[in-house]
Amino acid sequence: MLTPPESPPPAEEPPAWAVRQALSDLPSGSETSVVTALAWHLADAAAERFQERHDEYDDPDQGGEA
């Protein structure tokens, strides 16, 4: 007996806060794909800022941990 092929897992969605921000930044009626793309961009930028801030605290030359 053959088993039906499994459907691919659903694509991960951007964080809700990023979707809300994207919806408020874009004109009303923007396509879902545009909203999702901007939301991912906002989430990635926030993660990058957080990582840079974290790296600063770990840098001994900047008074961080050794």
Helix (H) or strand (E) holding 64: none
Contact between 43 and 19 under an 8 Å Cβ cutoff? The reply is no
Which pTM was predicted?
0.64
| Cα 16 to Cα 38: distance, rounded to the nearest angstrom | 12
User: Is 2 inside any structural domain?
Assistant: no
Q: What pLDDT digit, counting tens, does each position of 42-55 carry?
A: 999 999 888 877 65
User: Is 10 inside any structural domain?
Assistant: no
User: Is 8 inside any structural domain?
Assistant: no
| Cα 56 to Cα 54: distance, rounded to the nearest angstrom | 5
Per the structure, the count of domains in the chain is: 1
Lowest mean pLDDT among 3-7, 15-19, 53-57: 3-7
40 lies in which domain range? 16-62
User: Is 7 inside any structural domain?
Assistant: no
User: Is 31 inside any structural domain?
Assistant: yes
